[in-house]
Amino acid sequence: MQPRVLISTEEIASRVQELGAKISRDYAEKDLVVVGILKGAVVFMSDLIRAIQVPLEIDFMATSSYGAATETSGVVQLLKDLDTAIEGRDILIVEDIIDSGLTLSYLSQLLQSRQPASIKTAVLLDKPDRRRIDFIPDYIGFSIPDEFVVGYGLDHNHRYRELPYVGVVSS
């Protein structure tokens, strides 16, 4: 069964343009490195960087905390580190969704220890009700209720990432 639409392709596209415009203003004259968190962030990131009008580099990290569950295990594992040295540079971490907050808080602390000039975070989706760690992303596409969502990069058991919208799988 196709997931039910929660956020449409058009709504996503227009919000991504707004975020790109804001990020472009905030990073004028900076040394921007956009760090995407694999795999969920790749679709959002590829649209977002094309909506940003200032020079940038990209790199990727990968973490795991979920396995096949829809609940975080509470332990974040680093599966892939950056290729780029980030000391003195302006880092924007891009994530598909913030849920417990564990992933972004872990990654921010890890990258902070490498002395970048700045670190900010951008998420397409925020589930504020589920936070276990106090963490507020700098750029948020949409706040959503506590439902497990898929599409536009987000998966359930590796499926649905290619959907052009954010949807909810009915169980």
Q: Cβ contacts of residue 33 below 8 Å, gap of 6+?
A: 56, 57, 58, 59, 84, 86, 89, 90, 91, 92
Contact between residue 124 and residue 113 where contact means Cβ atoms under 8 Å apart:
no
103 binds ligand IMP (CB under 6 A): yes
Query: For this structure, is 99 an active site residue?
Result: yes
CB of 88 to ligand IMP, least distance (A): 27
**Number of residues in contact with Mg ion, rule: CB under 5 A?**
1
Catalytic residue (one of 47, 90, 96, 99): 99
Among positions 97, 122, 163, 166, the unique one binding ligand IMP when judged by CB under 6 A: 97
- Span from 13-21, 42-50, 51-59, 143-151 in contact with ligand IMP (CB under 6 A): 143-151
40 binds ligand IMP (CB under 6 A): yes
* Site pattern 26..45 for Mg ion (x: CB under 5 A): --------------x-----
CB of 64 to ligand IMP, least distance (A): 9
What does the DSSP 8-state code read for residue 151? B
| CB nearer ligand IMP, residue 53 or residue 102 | 102
Q: Where are the beta strands (DSSP E) in the chain?
A: 4-7, 32-38, 56-64, 77-80, 90-98, 118-126, 139-143, 149-150, 166-168
Distance, CA of 11 to CA of 134 (rounded, Å): 28
Left, alpha or beta for 96 (phi > 0: left; psi -120 to 50: alpha)?
Answer: alpha
State the residues that interact with ligand IMP by CB under 6 A: 40, 65-66, 72, 95-103, 148-150, 154
